[in-house]
Each structure stands twice: as structure tokens, then as C-alpha cells.
Structure 1
Amino acid sequence: MSFNTLFRNLFLAGAACAALGACTQGSDIASPGTTNPGTPPGGGGGGGGGNGGTATCPTGFTTGTAVGNTTTCLISGAILTNLNLPQVDGIAYRIQGRVDIGSDIGADGNAAGGTAARLTIAPGVTLYGESGADYIVVNRGSQLEADGTQASPIIFTSADDIARRADNDPTNDDGGDNISEWGGLVILGQAPINRCRDAATPGTVDCENIVEGVTNPDALYGGNDTADNSGILRYVQVRFAGFAINTQGNELNGITFAGVGNGTTVENVQVHNNSDDGVEFFGGNVNVRNLVLTGNDDDSIDTDNGYQGNIQYAIVVQRNAGGDNIVEASSAAPGVTPLSNAQISNFTFIARSGGGNGFRLNTGTVGRYVNGVLFEQGDECFRYQDSAGNGTPGYQGIGQDPSFDSVLFDCAAGLATANSEAGTAEAAVAGGTNNLQASNSLAARFFPGPVEAGVTAFDPTTLNPFFQQTSYIGAFGPNETETQNWAAGWTFALFADPVCPTGTTDSGFEINDVTVCRLSGIVTSDIRLTRGNFYELDGRVDIGVDVGADGNAQGGDPASITIESGVTIFGDSGQDYLVVNRGSQIFSNGTSANPVIFTSENDVTNAAGDRTNAISEWGGLVILGRAPINRCRDAATPGTAACENIVEGVTNPDALYGGGITGDSSGSMTFTRVQFAGFAINTQGNELNGITFGGVGNGTTAENIQVHNNSDDGVEFFGGNVNVRNLVLTGNDDDSIDTDNGYQGNIQFAIVVQRDAGGDNIVEASSAAPGVTPLSNANVANFTFVARSGGGNGFRLNTGTVGRYVNGVLFEQGDECFRYQDSAGNGTAGYQGVGQDPSFDSVLFDCTAGLATANSEAGTAEAAVAGGTNNVTGANSLSGTFINGANETAVTAFDVTTLDPWFQATTYAGAVQNNADRWWAGWSCGLEASSPC
């Protein structure tokens, strides 16, 4: 289906909806994963702020002044008996002044005049304040039970927020940079603290303190009940709060947890755009799971006064206009117990440029931070002050300082501020396990890319049974997506609506409700394709302008294309393809769970039905580098910088490859699939392969790559020396691996499976002519080649090629192992000890029609097999098409590290050792029934 057809169909569908009035469009209560779920009642209706509400308050509530089209029901003063707030469409509850839930019963429960009460809030209820004087205090001994659901979160917000969302202007819905529009939520408990207002022993029942932000009268917290239960906060949002009660530093946070114990349930809680801290923990040991902090103006997580709780799955995103430190951790003084010792696992912290630091650590704090990602866009990771640490070496085996394990630090200004204990910060990072200082590869802002996936996770269950075991770092796991994740459906303004990134254009079309962004022409500025959109190749798309073999070509202009994990790029015809020119780079770095996919429009729109034999539905991927080649278009010396050539399949204008830089880098491709491509540009033999590597150097990373159902070769290497690990080639119509023009790279772990309807040779290897250097001399190890009956041969060897093939399995179901031509070999006996011909070691040959074709140099083929070590001619015992069985296991393996240090040592022949070896699973398609292409 072309896009003109697609647009017509979408237009007609839209017209039908308009006529029938029956098709659901967007609403302010957004679907899971979109921008603004949890709209306050009346926020999406008409009336624009002045019509007043028509709903009726529940019995017992006084009706206040309406906000927009929302009826207001008042709560005020001290609530000394249990109170329920039911959900009623069209109403919100006004927090009128300071509202106390119960009166303080004291640390021991016996305070004179103390009264315990409970405020129960139904799912979907909205409460709001009109100014900083409006806030809720849950006193010691009392409880707040705000138990929402994913579909119906409980919302604490401001009158301004409700009015904004009632004005029918969706640009106002997220509240922008507004803060401090009401007070906040204060929860006080009887759990231990270490900063006492009187001369009491920290951590005892006598140690209590006055909470920040609350006056007239003061409110107290603290005690010795670690299991203190202050209620439930589940699926709760607190928006646009925070207020300085009297002086700077005595402010209301979004949520204040003061002396709150671990009998309290806190799960799925968000604080958005608070003017002070997002959440602050004054002592206590409450545990928190699924915490979202967005746009807060001071610190996002502040721990103090002996807080010893655990936090797992935490997202922090600062807004451009505000935000200080992500974490500020402190205590009463070093060594005072209970120590401030928060433990945080699985966090993703994204800090603005020009705010504070990722971690400000001071005043006797310890803390354990594991399985995290910190992205500081303009500042240092740490402000690590000399007062940090508990002053008691060996505490819990950690030592006296905060510690970090399995954390990715990506901080623009370096590790520590100038006023830090830089050496201590460096030691904390270096002393932990699996910490990494590197650029992040987060996709769609939050989701793990290949860098995050490469960090070995820490087992947080060893810290505390509260933690859930995870195999990943960051707040989101590898299988979570923008619409299917623990934060989807109940959070506010967290997931921005995807927009087409700079360098692309919005096509105006959607596929399955996903925006299609268009790439076209010549890209001369670096471009990043962000997850959440589809990307259409509109004709030939060039990344950069050729800089020449020496980097000085007139008009040369390098650029890069970065493709986030999980992105899909498609073309509509063979005229749609991507060319990465010399000097430019591609970074197509997916993950096992979220590979990058290059495919066709038919595939994306499911327009073509059965995909089994679908081929040639778009062009392909061409990557051009400056590494040596041996076939020159002009009278140049092969292998020199002057030797360059025109790449196959690309015309108007031609595209060049080759040079003298063996370490040339064309970027990185990991966990990337290319499917249903291939096209003859003009004449037979001038075709686009699935992936063309032209003069690509070994500074390029190529790992976990699949080409499926290409109409020409799966991959073709024209010279160069790029190395490839974990290569899957399925259903390709010509050769699967084609090496030519002096290719000297290494390939390890290669699965090739031909489909019944297509496929020629598994390997075609050739060169310019015998003896021309650099020789075509690929090293291929640990391969499993499964060829169809009636196609080509396992190996077609011709025209000056050498090559070393070891630890392999070849199953030719109807043809010969070799078409071994008399032109094969480099013509120079003794080359690198290999001799003049291709050679084989530790290969199982199972070929129905015998060893070599009738038009082969049969004797040379036989000699190559017989002259190698541990080659076997006999039946295979592969299971599941390509997985080793007993016969493959019986082959004595060749030590591949003797060929090149790049190879990984193995003890087996074949690409897949056994059923437990699943390096190919999850990111590839078509190799097992559960993952069709």
C-alpha cells in the first residue's frame, strides 16, 4: 500500500467516524502511556472556567465556589473521626487551609488530647488547594488511605490546574513551569529518627522533632516504632504544590514523610512541579516502590535525620526551568544512629543542564545506590562533601561512605564538583562493582539501550527482602515500552507525545496510531531517530557527503545517524534506501528486547499478508568506509588511499568506497534487523544487498545483525576489514555471505538458513585476481549453514580468494558442498601458512550431492578438506534446524584465537552449541515458530 492509498483510507475512515459519531478520538483522560492521564473532574469539558459545576456534593459536605465546570466540596480544619471521600463525577474536594487528620497521639500513643483518625480517599478522587496555605497534615497515629488504581489515580492538585484543564486549550494541560500553587502533603509517624528537638537519645521513643513547613501549631514526628503504619499511598499524584511557610528553608515539600514507618504502603506515587523538594524523608524507614518525580524545583529526593528506607524503581526528570540536586542525602552528624542510610535500586535520573548535581552527599549520610542510570546534562555527578560518611569504618561492610554498584554515570561536567571530596567520590565509583562512566543510550528518554543493557545488574535482594530481583539497571526493564510499563496510565506529563526529530519531517500520516516521520535527501547534520515514531525512507537517503579516502574531498560533509533501540525504519519501494557515505557514521544500536528494524511499508502496515516469501519490497542499507580494497576504478595501486571504487546498487550519483585506513569507523550496528529488502537499480548484477559493507574498517562495530528475505545477497563485503559477530542470515535470495575486493575481516557465530523458495550459494568468495593485495581472505568461525535443495552450493570459491573456515557445520540438502573454481586461491603458495587455497578446519560437511560440482576443481576441494584438521564428512544431527546435536558435538574444535585475537575461544563447532545457547533469540526473527518475521 502506498502512502497515497493509506492516506485516502485514513481520510475515509475519519469521515465515516464524523458522520456516525461513533469513533473514539482522544480525550483528556489519556490512554496508558500518553501525556496527561488523571484529569480532574470537569477538566476536559466545556464551559471554560466560569460556568460552574452541576454535580452535587455527597451528604455531609459543604459546597464551595466552583472551579471551571467542577463542583467544589469543602474539607477543612481538624478531622478527628474517620472520613471517606467518595468519587463523584464532576466534583473535587477543596483543601481549605491547613487540614489535620487526627491530632498528635505522641511517640508512645499516649499524648494528652491525642486523637487518631483516618482519611480514606476513593480511586479517581481529586483534591485541590487554592494557595500555599492549603495543605494536609496526617498526624502521628492517624492514617491516610489514598488507594487509587492505574486507571483511576488519586490526584492532589491546585485550583489553577483544574481551571487550566477546563479552558479547552490543550497547550495548557501540563501546567508548563507552574509551581507553588498550593501547599502539599505532610505525613507524620512514630518511627525512629536521629535528630531530636530536646536532649533525647536519637532513635528512642523520646526523640521527636518539629516537621519542616508546618506552623501554628507545630507538628511533631518520631518515636521508636519501625513498623509504624501511616496508611496507604498507591497510584497517587501530587501536582503544582510547595510553599515557604515563613522563611526560606522552612517549606512544604510535595510529600513530606517524617518518621514514617515501614508498615506504611507507598507505591506508584508521583510528585510533579513542586516548588521545594519532590519528596523528603525525615528519618523513619518507609519503603517506596514505583516513584516518579518530575519538574520539581529543589531536590527531587531528600533524605535526612536517619532515614533508613528502601526505594525501588524511581524516575526523576527535571524541567528546564527548575531543579537542584536529584538526591540530597544528609543526617544529624556522622556516626549518629539510626544512620541516614537510604537504599535505592533501579533508578533513572535525568537532570537538567545548569541545575545541581546528581548526588549531593553530606553530613553523616551513608546510602547504597544500585542498578541506576544518572544522566547529568550539564553538571557533575557528585557534590561529595567532606562531611559525608558515617564516621564508622566497616558499617554493614560498606565502609564509611556512600556506595554504588551497577550504576551508569553520564555527567557532562565530570564526576565531582570543585568543592567536592573528589578523591572520595572517585573511590566510591571505582570501588563498587560494575559501575560505568559512559554516554547513555536511553531510548525515548527512559528506556534501556545497548549501553544500559551491557551493565551487569546488582542483586538488590541481598540488601533487603523488600527489593525485587532484577536483571537490568534503570527504572524500566528491557521488555517495557512507552505504552506498556509500570508508570503508564496513571502518571502526569511524564511521557511526552512523540514528535518528529530535527532532520525529519512529519508526514502527516499515522500507522496504528504511530506518527510517521520522513527522511529524505542528503542529511548533513547529525540526526537522532527517537523511539515512539515510525520513520519512512523517501527515496535515496544519504548520511553525509563523501569526504573522500583522505577526508579532504571537495564538498565533503560528514554526519551521523543515531537510531534508538526499538525504532522501525521502512521504505515503500526499491528506490528507498539508506547510504552512509565515507566519513559519516551510523549508530543503529538496539537491544535484544528492542532491536532496530529496517523493513518495508508492506510489513509495517500488514498490507501483504503472508510474509514467508516476501522480498524486494524496499532497497536496503549501504555503508561505505575508507578501509583498503583491491579493485580500483582508476589506475591506482590496490590497498592504497588512491584505490577507490563505485559501490554496487547506488547510482545518480555514484557512491564511492575505499581508502587506506584499516581502523576506519563507520559507527556501530548492534541488534539490528534488515528484512524484505533488495532491488536491482538498473541492470542485473547491480543490485542492493540487505547490507552492503563497502571498504568498511575494523573500527566499526557490527554485532547481532540479521538480514532476512533479501532479493540479492544477505550481506556483501567489498574489501575492508570490518569484523562481524552474531550474524543471522535467513531466506535471502542470492548468496547469503558474499566477500569480494580484498575483504579481510573476521566473522564469528553465523547462522544461515535458506528458505525453500530462494537462495543461491551460502558463501560466495572472490577477489580482483589471484595475488592482488590486500587478498580476499575472510576468517569465518563457528558457523551453521543450512542450504535448501536445488539452490547453489555451500561455498562458491573463485577469483583469487583465500579464506579460512573453521568450527563449522554445512548441511546442503540437495547440492554439493563446493563449487570450487580454478581461479580460486591467491596464487602465492605459503601465504600466512595457509597455502594458496581456501582452507577448512573442524568443519562437518553433510552435502547430499557430494563434495564438489562437476565444473569444480574437485581435487583441490578434496585436498582442502583432507588437508585441514578434524574435518568430518557425514550426517548432521542438528535439532531445531541449526542447534548442535551429538554429531556436531563430536567434532574437535579448532582454537580460533590462533587466527586473530578478536575471536572468542570456543570448544565446539557450529554457531549454536546446544539448546541452552540462545544468543540469537529475542532480537532475530524466523528462526523459531514463536518469532515469525
Structure 2
Amino acid sequence: MGFLMKLKTAGSAFALLLAAAACTQGSEISSPGPTNPGTPPGGGGSGGGGGGGGTASCPSGFTEGAAVGGLTTCDISGTILADLTVPNVSGVAYRLSGRVDIGEDVGADGSAGGTSATLTIEPGVTLFGESGDDYLVVNRGSMIDADGSASAPIVFTSADDLERQADSDASNDDGGDSIGEWGGLVLLGQAPINNCISGTPGTASCENIIEGVQPQAFYGGADTNDSTGTLNYVQVRFAGNELSTGNELNGITFGGIGAGTTVENIQVHNNADDGVEFFGGNVNVRYLVLTGNDDDSIDTDNGYNGNIQYAVVVQRAAGGDNIVEASSAGGAVDPRSNATLSNFTFVGNRSNAFRLNTNTIGRYVNGVVDYGKECFRWETSAGDGTVGYGGIDVDPSFDSVLFDCNGGLALASGDTTTPPAAVSGGTNNTISPSSLSSGFFPGPEEGDVTVFDASTLDSFFETTSFIGAFGPTETADQNWATGWTFALFPDPECPVGTTDSGVDLNSSNVCQITGTITEDLRLTSGNVYELVGRVDVGVDTGADGTATGGNSVALTIEAGVTVFGDEGDDYLVVNRGSQIFSNGTASDPVVFTSEDDLTNSQVDAENAIGEWGGLVILGQAPINNCIAGTPGTASCENIIEGVEPNAFYGGADDADSSGALSYTQVKFAGNELSTGNELNGITFGGVGSGTSVEYIQVHNNADDGVEFFGGSVNVRYLVLTGNDDDSIDTDNGYNGNIQFAIVVQRTAGGDNIVEASSAGGAVDPRSNATLSNFTFVGNRSNAFRLNTNTIGRYVNGVVDYGKECFRWETSAGDGTVGYGGVNVDPSFDSVLFDCDGGLALASGDTTTPPEAVAAGSANTTGTASSLTSTFVNGAAETAATAFDASTLDSFFEATSYIGAVQNAQDTWWQGWSCGLEASDPC
């Protein structure tokens, strides 16, 4: 079973479960035959199942034991009193027989008379135990040098695991809920602790007995820079052993380990107790992976003062307690536990994300907490709210952390007042739904959190531009954990709510979506999704949300997901009251496209249009064109075009939210039901300003690129390329804002770049869109077709057009001051007009365009554009005077330039869009 175990409450879109029975209708894709058999287990040359068949020979000095999982086994036992190297030999694994000690304890200051030794483990080596009594202890004064590599990690695991990996029927088995199959790894050092058998905390007289080990072993001292060696690219799997209640072996136990020890790129998977536990010391950790552990994932105690950066923690469904349990010695004993964590992603649903108690402090920055229960069990014993230890507030503190906990911030049985105060008292903390992709990777919600500079806390920390464990350019296939970790990224499965078609497309499952989505659905990355016919998100809740039978649901689409249709009847409708969250990123956009595009079966890809339906989003914001009722009120609704049977839009909630689109492409869409009744690339019907739309592209649509029927949704960073009718169509009372828009028509298709209309007669709210920082390039009909009482404000634009700039109908505006106290004629400021046919089309109103242009400020008609690379500002554009669009609406950013792209260094369009440069065709 895969173990990405978010499992929030019923209906959660984060659960990864098996899909329903296979269905192939609606697709012409044929099955490629047998499915991918999976990948070999982690662990490098000696960690794979079946390698060697038990016929390899042990290196000199090692005794051969019984074969396990087809591997020759070589025993390591007793106390190692001289330096020992464990070589990587293909087909060989090393058995830890009983408790294995590296060296003898030299004491807190090295004067106890013990013997020091170093255990060196070569990259790719596998070591294993057969029971909980088999474990490794590195004593004070001795060292471990386990320095693996990304391609050859060092693996500590169980005999059972090796047998599982050798089983041809379970070659990719992550062990499910298997735990406690051997002991674990214990490192003991001479760094300070605060919980002593006797002596003064923080000094060499303070030492203690480590848990889980018998006979007793000791840790602690006074050397903050003590070195116990290196752990790098190391896995510890299926460990843990209980000597007695509360006296257990962790996956890796760090007892008094100092900052001279190197610990990075380590994973603990399915341990029976804690994943990692730090008893005092100040060892730092970078790149930490903790998966499926059965108690706490990160446990800090007895004065631990180290730093941890880049930590991903995922609990499994059937086991786990808290993600972090942070404690210190009873009473205000220094050094108190004061761990600092930066760039962490915590995902789970067991007890709490944080259990904080017993005078612990701790600083947590740049984190994402996606948890199915309460964020905190905050004991009253944690801190005391005064300024003390080290001159800082002894309460735990948080900065730049996104908290998404289904149970809220605090567990009722704990201190319920301190968590909200601590979260609000930090900087840039956010309580909002996460938008993580594949369970771990940042989406738009994470990207909106202002990052804390962790390097100001300690020189150990790297400055990052992101919160969470992974950066915005990392994916499930390419990230710092790729290759050396075990079962972190499960094989993709079609999520519940979709149907596994039983076929693959470009090595990905094809998951089909049909009918009406009646529960929240998350389209997880690693699959491709086919729309079969009209797919509805939710059931229309009406203009005011009270329609009988209405059902509000959310469709979330993870970064990198592709959704496709096979024909014009395949399209997506997000109904009133429901939401879509298309959570693309700059490096991993969401793509809506056609099957022909994905199978490379387009005859002429450059001019391909109408190969599937499109995307329709319907909301409850005001419109002015009604079937019945009063424009601008909840009684005013209408039927959206291009959809059959009818779907409705409109209402009275100007701030209505239909979700969010970010870094999203819509390609090769459009379908005609009848003349003039067609699907646009993206149709916005009565969509409110509570909807977030930025970084979107519509390419080669058979009708308009985007059309706005009323509503007030705002758009930032809009790319429209090759669309076959109008690129931007505004109608029925649209009052939103658009900033940074690149529009390029294709040679063989297109009508106007902007067509702006309103309802017949002076009906309020009239269409009154505001556009700033646009670059329009084309040669089809006109740059602007303005008619039917539309208004509109256009500033900071570049119009480079091969025909007339305007087809200005006499019905557009009336030249008087009316609606909203503004001139009801469309108006222009700081626009460079370079139209080969002049300003006005002869068959239109030829006098108003020059008057409107002349009446505006800083418009130019006699300057040729100097755009480079089609749409990037050149010298003429750079010389233009910009208009401060922020004076029109707070949505707009003030710029010092006109046009959508300031210069060659301004690359907001790059990476997530297509077709704007020769090296990136659509």
C-alpha cells in the first residue's frame, strides 16, 4: 500500500485510494499492454532484492550467515574496538547480531578509560536486523562514517523487509504497516544536556542513561562541537523495540550529539517508536524525511538546541502520534530545549502536529502544516510567557507558517489561548487551506506566504524564497529527496471520484471524469484526466445559494496535472456555489488540452482549434442581462452560451468566489452548438472578485479566448495566443480589472482582440472593464470593437496592429457623463497606437476614436512600435510616459512602463505558457 497518509475527514480530496472499476468509453487511446512493473527497492547495489542469489562471498574478516532475501549475509556482532569498514559488495547484506557497540564509552570528557573506534560504511551498503534485539550503538568518543550518495544510499532495515523486496510479487512493497522488525540506530555523544543522573546541567558532570538500550549506555558532556561522525544519504526502515513502557528504541536516537556531527539526507520509515529523538545536544540536520512512524516523528528533549532545515514528515493512516513532541527537563533548567526548524512540511491526521510541553521553547519558521486534526496540544508547562532564557520569549514562536488544520489551532484539553496568540504574534503566519501538490509541493497558497529569512537565526540556515520542505521548481520526479528515499512518493492511483480507464498515456494512468461531481475532488499529479462528455462541478445553488437540490463542491487540480477532452462535447462546467482550484506553478502548470494534442495526432498543430470543449465557470456576481428580474440584483440571471442543457449564472454577490486559477493553460478548445452559441476557451459567467485568476493562457480556441459575461473577477498575467474569434470579449455588465496581458493573433485565424459590449440600452451595471499594461499584436479585423453601451478604461497599452485600431460602433457610449459619474465613452491613457489602417474603420463611427485618443493623456498615434520578440518593449515603448493605474483601483500595481512586458529581463510569461517563443511551441 502507498503511505501518503493525509486522510483528513470524510470527503477529503487528499486521500489517495484505489479507483473504481476500469472504463474505456470516451477515449480512443489504446492500452500499451502490461503495466509498469515498478522500480527496484532503495538501498543501492546491496539493498535490492534478489541480487546475488546468496552466492556472493563475504569480505575478509566477516563471518557468513544464513542467506536472507536471496542475499549473502555477513555478520557483525559484539563490541567493535578497532576501526571497521563495511564494504559494498554486490549481493551482500550485513546482519547486526544482537546489540552491536562501536567502541566503549569514554565518558563525558573522554577520561573514563573506554576505547574509541570508527565504523565506516560504504555507499550502497545494506545492514539489517532480525528482531528488536538487533541494533547499533555508537558510544561516546567513537564515530560512525555512513556517507552514502543519492544514487547509492546506505540502508538500515529488517530481514523481513529484505524478504519482501525479494518477493517478485511485491517488488515495490513499502511494507504497509510493518513496524518494529529490528532495533534501530543509537548515537551517543558528549554535547550538553539538561537532565542528569547527577551533576550540573550543561556541564561535563551531567550525563544520563539513553532509553531503549540494555545494558545501560550513557550520553552527555560539555562539548557543543563534539563529533560522532557522519550520516548522509541514510535510510532506517521498519525499526523500533520496546524494553518496557516508555523505554523504546527510536529509528535514530541522538543522545548528546554535538554540532561537529554531520547529519543530512536521512530518512526514518515506519519505526515502532519515534522517527528521530534528540536527547539534548545541538546536532544540526539538513534534509530530513520521516514517513509512517508510529509515535512522534520528531521528538526533542533534555536540552536539544540544534537546527533542522528541509524536513518532510508524513504520517501513515494506521499509526503515529504527534509530528513534533517538544519537551525539556522539568523546571526552568538550562540549557532548555530550544530547537529551530525552517522549511518543513508536516502532513498527517493522528494526534496533533505539535505537542509542546515542559519548558520547551523552539522557533518554527517557513513551514506548511496540513493536518487532519488540531495543530497544537499546547501544555501549560510549555514556556511561561516571560523573557528569560537567552533573552528571548520562552514561549515557542512561529513565523511564515501556513496552518491548515481541520481541528483548528488548539486541542480543547490543552492550553487553548496560547496557540492563537503565538500564531498571531509571529510574522506572516497564515491560517488557510493548503494547496500542496502530490502531498508536499507548494501551490499558490504556499507561494503567497511571505518568507522568513532563517539565516538571521543561525548561520547554519540557508536563505530560501519559499516555505515548506520543497521549492516551487521541484516536482515529484525531480527534488532533493528523489532517488535515495524509500516509498516517499507512492505510485499514482486514480483518485476516488474518477475511474481508472485501464490505459496509459505517455506512461501515466488515464483517469476518467464523467457526469456531475458531487463531492470534493482532488486531481492528483502523476495521472492524466479525461473529461468524458459534459462534466459538472457541483449542482447549481442558484443566484443566492438557496436553490433546491443545489450542491457546492470543490475541484482541486494539482500542479503539473493535464486534463483533456476528445471532442467538442467534452468540457467542464463549474456551477454557481462550487469552486475550482487550478493550482499550477511557474515550473509545473495545469494544462487543459485535447487528446489529439497529447497523442500528437493533430494534422496542423499550428492552426489546430476546436478539438475539445473548454472551461466554463459560473458565479453569483451581478450581471445586467436577465431572462427576467432587475439587472444587478439576485433576481437577474441568465443562461450561459455554449452549454447544453442550460446552465445559469448571475446573482448579487460582487465578491463571490468561484475558486482560483493559477498558472493554467487552456489549449485547442472551442465547440459550436449553433451559430453564435459557442464555447470559449474560458467562459466567466457572473464570476465575482473573490475569485483569484492569474497566470492563465488560452491558445488556439475556436471561439473567444476569454469571455466575461458580467461579474467583477480580476485577472493578472493573461496570455492569449492564436484564438479564432475575439481574444478578450466583455459583455453583460463586466466590471473587472485586467493587468499584464499579452495577446498575439495567429495568421490564419482571429477576429478582434477586444470586443466590448453591454446589454442593450443604458442598463446598469454597464460593462466597464479596466485594462492596464497590455500588448496587442495582430492583423485580423480590429484591435478594439466597441459597441452597445460599453464603457471601459484602457491604460499603459501597446497596440501593434496590421489593420485599423478601432471598429467603434455608434452604440458604444453616448459621450455624456452618467454611469458612476464617469465619462461613458471608452477612454484611453498612455497607449501607443501603431495601426497600419489608422485609428478607425470606415464603416464605424470614425470621429469618436480620434477624439477619445486625443482626450486621453500621453497617448501616441504617430510613433511606430519597436517591440522585440513580438511583444517585448523596445526603445519607443520605454520612452512612453506611464499612467499610474493604482489610482484607478487598488488591484492595480503602479508601473513605470507601458505594455505587458517591460524588457527582456521581464519574463513573467516564461516557463508556464507556450507558443510565445520558437523554442517552446504549443
Answer yes or no: same fold by TM over 0.5: yes
Match for residue 99 of structure 2?
98
Q: Residues 895 and 61 from structure 1, CA distance in 2 versus in 1: closer, same or farther, beyond 3 angstroms?
A: closer
**Preserved CA contact (<8 Å) 1:364 1:391:** no
Q: Percent of aligned pairs with the same residue?
A: 67
Q: Residues 551 and 227 from structure 1, CA distance in 2 versus in 1: closer, same or farther, beyond 3 angstroms?
A: closer
Match 1:778 to one of 750, 760, 769: 769
Residue 738 of structure 1: CA displacement?
A: 0.8
Out of 586-595 and 501-510, give the one that drifted further. Answer: 586-595
Q: Residues 482 and 655 from structure 1, CA distance in 2 versus in 1: closer, same or farther, beyond 3 angstroms?
A: same
- In the alignment, structure 1 residue 498 sits paired with structure 2 residue 492: yes
Q: Secondary structure at the match of 1:849?
A: coil
CA–CA distance in structure 1, aligned partners of residues 419 and 540 of structure 2: 44
Residue 723 of structure 1: CA displacement?
A: 2.2
CA–CA distance in structure 2, aligned partners of residues 497 and 722 of structure 1: 38
Within a 5 Å distance, the mapping from 1:183-262 to structure 2 comes to 183-199=183-199, 201-216=200-215, 218-245=216-243, 247-262=244-259
- In the alignment, structure 1 residue 807 sits paired with structure 2 residue 796: yes
Residue 874 of structure 1: CA displacement?
A: 2.7
Q: Secondary structure at the match of 1:473?
A: coil
Within a 5 Å distance, the mapping from 1:612-691 to structure 2 comes to 612-632=606-626, 634=627, 636-651=629-644, 653-681=645-673, 683-691=674-682
**Preserved CA contact (<8 Å) 2:93 2:125:** yes
Q: Residues 556 and 894 from structure 1, CA distance in 2 versus in 1: closer, same or farther, beyond 3 angstroms?
A: same
CA–CA distance in structure 2, aligned partners of residues 331 and 545 of structure 1: 53
Out of 416-425 and 472-481, give the one that drifted further. Answer: 416-425
Q: Residues 202 and 583 from structure 1, CA distance in 2 versus in 1: closer, same or farther, beyond 3 angstroms?
A: closer
Q: Secondary structure at the match of 1:7?
A: coil
CA–CA distance in structure 2, aligned partners of residues 406 and 415 of structure 1: 15
Residue 206 of structure 1: CA displacement?
A: 2.9
Match 2:737 to one of 729, 732, 746: 746
Within a 5 Å distance, the mapping from 1:31-42 to structure 2 comes to 41=47
Within a 5 Å distance, the mapping from 1:385-400 to structure 2 comes to 385-389=379-383, 393=387, 395-396=389-390, 398-400=392-394
* Equivalent residue letter for 2:637: E
Match 1:345 to one of 337, 342, 346: 342
Residue 850 of structure 1: CA displacement?
A: 0.9
CA–CA distance in structure 1, aligned partners of residues 411 and 721 of structure 2: 52
**1:562-581, CA deviations, whole angstroms, 9 ceiling, x for partnerless residues?**
11222111122222211222
- In the alignment, structure 1 residue 309 sits paired with structure 2 residue 306: yes
Q: Residues 414 and 560 from structure 1, CA distance in 2 versus in 1: closer, same or farther, beyond 3 angstroms?
A: closer
Q: Residues 442 and 37 from structure 1, CA distance in 2 versus in 1: closer, same or farther, beyond 3 angstroms?
A: farther
* Equivalent residue letter for 1:846: D
**Preserved CA contact (<8 Å) 1:770 1:801:** no
CA–CA distance in structure 2, aligned partners of residues 901 and 463 of structure 1: 35
Match for residue 15 of structure 2?
none
Match for residue 848 of structure 2?
860
Within a 5 Å distance, the mapping from 1:831-870 to structure 2 comes to 831-870=819-858
CA–CA distance in structure 2, aligned partners of residues 397 and 908 of structure 1: 48
Match for residue 760 of structure 2?
769
**1:448-504, CA deviations, whole angstroms, 9 ceiling, x for partnerless residues?**
111111111112222222222211011111111111111121212211111111111
Match for residue 352 of structure 2?
357
Residue 783 of structure 1: CA displacement?
A: 1.9
**1:64-100, CA deviations, whole angstroms, 9 ceiling, x for partnerless residues?**
2333433332211111122222223333222111111
Q: Secondary structure at the match of 1:872?
A: coil
* Equivalent residue letter for 2:822: V
**Preserved CA contact (<8 Å) 1:266 1:288:** yes
- In the alignment, structure 1 residue 534 sits paired with structure 2 residue 525: no
CA–CA distance in structure 1, aligned partners of residues 648 and 309 of structure 2: 52
Residue 638 of structure 1: CA displacement?
A: 4.0
**Preserved CA contact (<8 Å) 1:366 1:390:** no
Residue 917 of structure 1: CA displacement?
A: 4.0
Aligned residues: CA RMSD? 2.7
**Preserved CA contact (<8 Å) 2:443 2:584:** yes
Match for residue 74 of structure 2?
73
**Preserved CA contact (<8 Å) 1:549 1:641:** yes
Q: Residues 275 and 836 from structure 1, CA distance in 2 versus in 1: closer, same or farther, beyond 3 angstroms?
A: closer
CA–CA distance in structure 2, aligned partners of residues 900 and 105 of structure 1: 71
* Equivalent residue letter for 1:645: N
Match 1:294 to one of 291, 294, 310: 291
Q: Residues 635 and 240 from structure 1, CA distance in 2 versus in 1: closer, same or farther, beyond 3 angstroms?
A: closer
Q: Residues 37 and 96 from structure 1, CA distance in 2 versus in 1: closer, same or farther, beyond 3 angstroms?
A: closer
- In the alignment, structure 1 residue 7 sits paired with structure 2 residue 30: yes
Match for residue 143 of structure 2?
143
Residue 403 of structure 1: CA displacement?
A: 1.8
The normalised TM-score by structure 2 is 0.92
The normalised TM-score by structure 1 is 0.91
- In the alignment, structure 1 residue 546 sits paired with structure 2 residue 540: yes
**Preserved CA contact (<8 Å) 2:50 2:69:** no
* Equivalent residue letter for 2:826: P
Q: Residues 338 and 930 from structure 1, CA distance in 2 versus in 1: closer, same or farther, beyond 3 angstroms?
A: farther
**Preserved CA contact (<8 Å) 2:51 2:91:** no
**1:552-611, CA deviations, whole angstroms, 9 ceiling, x for partnerless residues?**
555544433111222111122222211222333222232233222111223333444874
- In the alignment, structure 1 residue 330 sits paired with structure 2 residue 336: no
Match for residue 10 of structure 2?
none
Q: Secondary structure at the match of 1:313?
A: strand
- In the alignment, structure 1 residue 279 sits paired with structure 2 residue 285: no
Q: Secondary structure at the match of 1:716?
A: strand
CA–CA distance in structure 1, aligned partners of residues 108 and 385 of structure 2: 29
CA–CA distance in structure 1, aligned partners of residues 245 and 769 of structure 2: 69
CA–CA distance in structure 1, aligned partners of residues 305 and 540 of structure 2: 58
Residue 62 of structure 1: CA displacement?
A: 2.2
**1:418-463, CA deviations, whole angstroms, 9 ceiling, x for partnerless residues?**
3444443333222222111111111111111111111111122222
Question: Which structure carries more relative contact order (alpha carbon 8 Å, separation 6+)?
Answer: 2
**Preserved CA contact (<8 Å) 2:628 2:637:** no
Residue 533 of structure 1: CA displacement?
A: 0.9
* Equivalent residue letter for 2:781: G
Match for residue 178 of structure 1?
178
CA–CA distance in structure 1, aligned partners of residues 110 and 542 of structure 2: 80
Match 1:923 to one of 907, 912, 918: 912
Match for residue 820 of structure 1?
808
Match 1:793 to one of 766, 772, 782: 782
Q: Residues 37 and 213 from structure 1, CA distance in 2 versus in 1: closer, same or farther, beyond 3 angstroms?
A: closer
CA–CA distance in structure 2, aligned partners of residues 159 and 717 of structure 1: 63
**Preserved CA contact (<8 Å) 1:138 1:186:** yes
Residue 122 of structure 1: CA displacement?
A: 2.2
Residue 27 of structure 1: CA displacement?
A: 4.9
Residue 139 of structure 1: CA displacement?
A: 1.0
**Preserved CA contact (<8 Å) 1:770 1:824:** no
Residue 897 of structure 1: CA displacement?
A: 4.3
**1:707-728, CA deviations, whole angstroms, 9 ceiling, x for partnerless residues?**
1222221111122332222222
**Preserved CA contact (<8 Å) 1:771 1:828:** no
**1:633-672, CA deviations, whole angstroms, 9 ceiling, x for partnerless residues?**
x465444444433322223x23333344433332222222
Q: Residues 41 and 448 from structure 1, CA distance in 2 versus in 1: closer, same or farther, beyond 3 angstroms?
A: closer
Q: Residues 384 and 646 from structure 1, CA distance in 2 versus in 1: closer, same or farther, beyond 3 angstroms?
A: closer
Q: Residues 104 and 901 from structure 1, CA distance in 2 versus in 1: closer, same or farther, beyond 3 angstroms?
A: closer
Match 2:519 to one of 513, 521, 525: 525
* Equivalent residue letter for 1:320: A
CA–CA distance in structure 2, aligned partners of residues 635 and 164 of structure 1: 68
* Equivalent residue letter for 1:503: G
* Equivalent residue letter for 2:112: A
CA–CA distance in structure 2, aligned partners of residues 556 and 401 of structure 1: 47
Match for residue 369 of structure 1?
364
CA–CA distance in structure 2, aligned partners of residues 664 and 328 of structure 1: 41
* Equivalent residue letter for 1:404: F
Out of 384-393 and 148-157, give the one that drifted further. Answer: 384-393
